[in-house]
Structure formats: structure tokens, C-alpha cells
A and B are shown apart, each in its own frame.
Chain A
Amino acid sequence: MAVTMQTAERRLGRRLLLPTTVLLVLMVGYPIVWALRLSLYSDSITGATRFLGLDNYTRALWGADAERFWSAAWNTALFTVTAGGLELVIGVAMALVMHHLGAFRGPVRAMILVPWAIPTAVAAVLWQWMLTPNGIVNDLLGRQILWTGETTAARAAIVLVDVWKTAPFVGLLVLAGLQLIPKELYESAKMDGAGALRRFTSVTLPLVAPAILVAMLFRILDLMRLYDTPAILTNGANGTTTLSLFTYQEAIDQVRFGYGSALSTLTFMLVFGVALLVIRGCGVKVFETGEGRR
């Protein structure tokens, strides 16, 4: 009797999942499969395509475009590590500030979140004005830095804009994690004689780690697809062409959907691989903190 109940329930569950499954297959599965198919075909002005096998992939990985592809991959990695790292540190700091503010928490939180609410493209244009050779940033610094005209400065500008915009988002995610930590833990830690630093490293950090990890994963996935800021600020000049920008230049600017699909598939595989590494690599730690909590 119990067994049949269970089977019936399972069957109902499966049936209830059906609409979602169909939707996912249509919205996610179909485009992926179609892009994979496209990536195996050539592009031509006349619209006649022929099967190429993996030629589009070899062209990017070690063929005529290898230099451009790998430099874009390297730029993307650089932005992911620097901007992601800074956002994490600043975001956690912001979260701690917001968490410990009593009465002003609401207004401060709203203020910190303003940059995140501004669309990326608008933020990039705003910063573009401020970063012109005779703009306000150089005026305040008292020197003329060509923010969009030199490799180091251009990369720094893009990291700056991205950190300015997304550190608050990381802060918000981490703040949510902080607010879940029961007060009693701090009280008992205090009774056990733990100082402020010890309480931070032994109570706060381990318990907020899952939230930080989720924020980190979000940022890594996002930064590996970084497009709008470099597209607007530098148009990819001076070592700021990311994988997405390169893909856009090929797929949209030059109407090469086959080659563009190959590039986006490569980007997808890179992002997927990194995400898997992060989840597997750090997921263990999440599990351990979970055990420790019990």
C-alpha cells in the first residue's frame, strides 16, 4: 500500500515537472543545439553554407585567429581575476558595514546599491565622460592619464567601472548571509573569550562562506562574459578585447554566424569548465562548514 502511494506520488511529481522540462528544452536546449550545429558550417556572403567539421574551432584555437582568440581569453581571465577579487573584498567590506549599522542601515544600503541599479551601458557612458583626457577624473588627479588610450590604464578603467558597479551586488548577497547568522553564536563565542578578530574568523567567515561562494560564482560567470563595459569604453582597443567582444565582432559585425557560434561555444565551454571547477573545488568546503555547524 505504502509502495503504491509512493509510486503514484512520484508519477504525479514527474507529470508536474513536464511543463518546466518542455520550457527548458525549448528555451535552453534548442538554442544550444542549434548553435552547435551552426558552428560546424561555413559562412558566406551569398548565404550558401557548407559543412566544415571542426574547422571553425581550429581556426580560433590554433589557426589564423589563434592570436586574437587567446589574447581575448587572457584579457577575460585577467578581468575575471582582478575585478572579481576586488569586488569580493570590497563587497564583503560593504556588507559588514551595512550589517553593523543600526538605524541607518536602510538609507546606507539604498545608497550603496545605487551603482548596481544603473544599467551597465549607462554606467560605462558616464565613466567614459569622466575618463576623457581632460575629464573630471584627470582633473582631480592633477595629471593626464589616457584612460582609454593605454593598455594598463584602459584595463584599470574597465576594472574600476565594473567594481564600482558590482561590488554593491556582492555586498547585498553577503549581507543576506550575514543576517542569517544567529546572534547566540556570537554571545557564546564572547563568553568563551573570543576577541573581535577571532569571532570574525571563527564565526562570521565560516558561516557566511556559502553566501560568499554564491556571490563569487555569480561574478566569475558574469565577468567571463564581460561585454558592455569594454565595448563602450574602449571598443576593445589596448588589450581590452574580451571573449564576448571578440565573438560579437565576428558574429554580429561581420555576420559570421557559423564562426560566431563556434566562438560562443568555446566561451561556453570555458565558462562551464570554470564553473564546474569552482563548484567542485569549493563545494567541498561548503559541505565541511555545514558539518561543522552541526
Chain B
Amino acid sequence: MKKSLLCVAALLALAGCSGSTPADNAGASGGEEGRGPIAVASRPDPGGVFQTLADRWNESHPGEPVELIEQPQSSDDARAQLVQNLQARSTEFDLILANNVWISEFAARGWIAELPADELPADGLLEAPLATAEYDGALYAVPLFTDAGLLYYRTDLVPEPPSTFAELIGYCDIAAAQGMGCYAGQYAKTDGLTVNAQEAINAAGGDVLDESGAPDVGTAEAAAGLQLLRDGFDQGWIPREAITYTEEEGRTAFQQGRLLFLRNWPYMHNLASAEGDGNVVAGKFDVAPLPGIDGPGASALGGWNLAVSSYSEHPETARDFALWLLEPEQQRTLVTDGGLSPVLAELYDDPELVAQYPYLPTLKDALANARPLPKSPVWSAISLAVQDSVYAVLQGELDPADAVEQLQAALTDAIENA
């Protein structure tokens, strides 16, 4: 009995400890209004590039040090965590590295502060990523790095990269002869499926939302796009197991030599180029723009933007740090140390960088043609609806023509119900 009482007392003591956090020492460092130490909700940083940049800033700005706090790896989990923080008006983060599809929602909810557009570099920024940082005609973030899907292919097996799906399917005999799968993207039920579905729909000339942001998916073109992916599974040029693929499963399959073609983001180029540990494709692959139906396809635009939290106690420092990261020197470090895709156009033609990352010119073309993902404050409801309909099509449970009708209704409901 005494023992159990002790246990309870110990538990209560623990709870008490965790309840009383050390006093907030914000403002202790003094200085101007809105300036001081800031915390950045940043991405996982295996290569340490964000830390390198933060250290560089901290050296030259001793009074306004930057602390990086990593978000969860998966984008869905990262968003859930940020949403809970922002909903509670937490001052934990001053600057938020946000997936570009979250900007509209965060801005509409008043969680991130408007930024003065005239402080951006006058020119040199890629237009498409910058557009994702805007909401309702105002600037709410600055793009830090961007992303576009690329077609990874095996140069030792395929003479010329295909520019259309018809050409790609023509190569699938090679894959069959090698006993490998032909093509795959990200088809597990995550945001990656939304991206792949949009790319297929775009390739067939359809769209998910129209220019005004209204649902426009109940079209024959959209159905044709989904039919293409469905055919892939039915005809076997997309292997059955690809229904479980996110980015990493696909990368593993490609690196183990089990896939001839893979749609994936640029991040995998470095990893697949590194020899060893079951990687059989180092030096045997290259990238090309995504294939389309009548000609080259269009990638969906990925990428991450920096937004200043509305609840930040030092928003001036947060804004300055975000703008400082747009300077050529910092953007270059993002490429050289992190393999990330910069938002400054000039770096894509830089001979030194192209020597290190031969895919940069291809990526520049892909970015020029890339289409933004649905830009809406209810992005996550839209993405969930797209995943539900498209996944059912890929599983053969729903006819593409019925699926796009159903999706149109679901998107209309999601937007009206906002």
C-alpha cells in the first residue's frame, strides 16, 4: 500500500515538473521592438544545410539568434503539428517553413502575417513559386526552395527518354525482359497521390480547380487522365505493388533495380547517385521532364515557403531572416549543401552548380511548365477528396467517368462547407 502511494506521489511530482516550464525570457535581450531571438519551424535536415545557414546568420546577427526546430518528416504530420500550435496562438514558432499548399489556409485563418511585397528582390525570383506565396492578391510568405516532379529513367536500358506515355509504354518490353516493373509514381493514399492525380489530369488537358478556384474536375479530360493511371495498373505497366508507394518506397524500388521509370522529386537524385548499400543504379540513370499524352507533361509544383507567424514576438527579425535566405549566397548553399532547388532563376544556369547537379537544366524546364496544386484555403479537404476518388479508381472500384463526377460534387461540398 505504501509503495503504491509512493508511486502516485512520484507521478504527481513528475506531472508538476512538466507543467511548470521555465519562465519565458523573451524580451530579456532587449533591443528594438519586434527584434530578438527567433525560432523557426524547419524541415528535417539530414544534410545539415538549414543549420549551416542558421549558423551563418547567427554569426553576423548576434542579437537576433535563430533556433531551428524540426517538423515531423511527413508533410501531413508536420501540418497537423503546426495547425495545433497556431490554433492555440502559440508563440513557439516565429517563422514557419510551410508547404506551399498550406499558405492560402494559414493566411485565411489569420495565422501568418502579410509581408511587404516591395522588399522582395526586384527580379530573378522564379514566378511560379512566388505565386504560391500569395493569397488574395497579397504576399504572405517568401518561397525558400521549390520542387517539380521528374521522370527518372535507366540510361543503361533506355536509349532516349520518352516524352509521351505512348513512348514510355513502348519501352515496357525492356522492363519485362529484365523482370522489372515499368513505371511508377506515388499512389498510396497520401498527399503524393493528389500530386500524381493532378499531373495525370493535366497531361490529359483537364484540371482540378479552374482559374477562379472553382471545381472543374467533372470533365472528360479529367476522366481520361485517371483512365491513364488505371490502364497502367490494369495493363501491368504500373506494377501492382505501386499502390503502396509513397516517395520513399518508389525510390527504394528504383534503386534496387526493380523499376525502369519512376516519377519522383529531385531530392532522390543525390541519394540514387551514391554508390553502395543495395543501390544498383548509381551512374546508370538520368532525369527527363514528365511524359504527357500528346507531348511532354506538366509537373505539379512542390516547394516550401517561409511565413511569419501572426503570434511571433519578434516578427521583424523573422522577416529579415526570410528575406536574407533569398540572397544568392544563401540560395547557392541550399543547392550545394542540401541538393534543394533554389528559387533564383540564375542558379539553374550556373556552370559550377550544373557540374555538381546535372539535372538542373531539366528541372528548370520542368519548373517553367509546372502547374500549381489547387490553391485554396481548404486544400486539405480538397486533397482528401481527390485521394478518396482517385484511389478507388486505381483499385478498380470506381469508373473514371463516375469518379470525376463524384469528385466534382465532393470538391463543391468541401469549398461550400468551408
**Which residues of B are found within 8 Å of A291, using beta-carbon distances?**
none
Could you name 30 residue pairs across A and B whose Cβ atoms are closer than 8 Å?
A44-B418, A45-B108, A45-B109, A45-B378, A45-B418, A46-B109, A132-B249, A133-B244, A144-B240, A146-B240, A146-B241, A148-B244, A149-B241, A149-B244, A235-B188, A235-B189, A235-B190, A236-B189, A237-B189, A237-B391, A249-B384, A252-B80, A252-B83, A252-B84, A253-B79, A253-B83, A253-B380, A254-B378, A254-B380, A255-B109
Q: How far is the CB of A68 from chain B (nearest CB, A)?
A: 8
B182-210 vs A, Cβ < 8 Å mask (1 yes, 0 no): 00000011100000000000000000000
Q: Is the interface of A mostly helix, strand, loop or mixed?
A: loop
Q: How far is the CB of A88 from chain B (nearest CB, A)?
A: 28
**Which residues of B are found within 8 Å of A45, using beta-carbon distances?**
105, 108-109, 377-378, 418
CA distance A122 to B378 in the complex (A): 31
A224-249: which have CB < 8 Å to B?
234-238, 249
Say whether B108 contacts A46, CB under 8 Å. Answer: yes
Closest to A252 in B: B80
B249-293 vs A, Cβ < 8 Å mask (1 yes, 0 no): 100000000100000000000000000000000000000000000
Q: How far is the CB of A180 from chain B (nearest CB, A)?
A: 19
B413 at the interface (CB under 8 A from A): yes
Q: How far is the CB of B379 from chain A (nearest CB, A)?
A: 10
Closest to B417 in A: A64
CA distance A268 to B413 in the complex (A): 26
Q: How far is the CB of A283 from chain B (nearest CB, A)?
A: 28
**Which residues of A are found within 8 Å of B418, using beta-carbon distances?**
44-45
**Which residues of A are found within 8 Å of B243, using beta-carbon distances?**
146, 149
**Which residues of A are found within 8 Å of B413, using beta-carbon distances?**
64
A252-275: which have CB < 8 Å to B?
252-255
A281 at the interface (CB under 8 A from B): no
A111-123 vs B, Cβ < 8 Å mask (1 yes, 0 no): 0000000000000
Closest to B189 in A: A237
**Which residues of B are found within 8 Å of A236, using beta-carbon distances?**
189
B47-91: which have CB < 8 Å to A?
76, 79-80, 83-84, 87
A62-83 vs B, Cβ < 8 Å mask (1 yes, 0 no): 0010000000000000000000
Residue among B76, B87, B110, B391 making CB contact with A255, cutoff 8 Å: B87
A47 at the interface (CB under 8 A from B): yes
B178 at the interface (CB under 8 A from A): no
Closest to A128 in B: B244
In the complex, which of the residues B76, B188, B244 has the most CB atoms of chain A within 10 Å of its own CB atom?
A: B244
Q: How far is the CB of A193 from chain B (nearest CB, A)?
A: 43
Q: How far is the CB of B186 from chain A (nearest CB, A)?
A: 12
Closest to B397 in A: A151
B180 at the interface (CB under 8 A from A): no
A-B pairs, top 4 by smallest CB distance, nearest first, are: A237-B189, A133-B241, A149-B243, A149-B244
CA distance A133 to B241 in the complex (A): 6
Q: How far is the CB of B266 from chain A (nearest CB, A)?
A: 24
A148-189: which have CB < 8 Å to B?
148-149
Closest to A133 in B: B241
CA distance A132 to B105 in the complex (A): 34
**Which residues of A are found within 8 Å of B79, using beta-carbon distances?**
253
CA distance A131 to B109 in the complex (A): 40
Say whether A47 contacts B109, CB under 8 Å. Answer: yes
Say whether B109 contacts A148, CB under 8 Å. Answer: no
B29 at the interface (CB under 8 A from A): no
Closest to A234 in B: B189
CA distance A113 to B190 in the complex (A): 34
**Which residues of A are found within 8 Å of B188, using beta-carbon distances?**
148-149, 235, 237
B395 at the interface (CB under 8 A from A): yes
Q: How far is the CB of B307 from chain A (nearest CB, A)?
A: 16
Say whether B384 contacts A253, CB under 8 Å. Answer: yes
Q: How far is the CB of A206 from chain B (nearest CB, A)?
A: 30
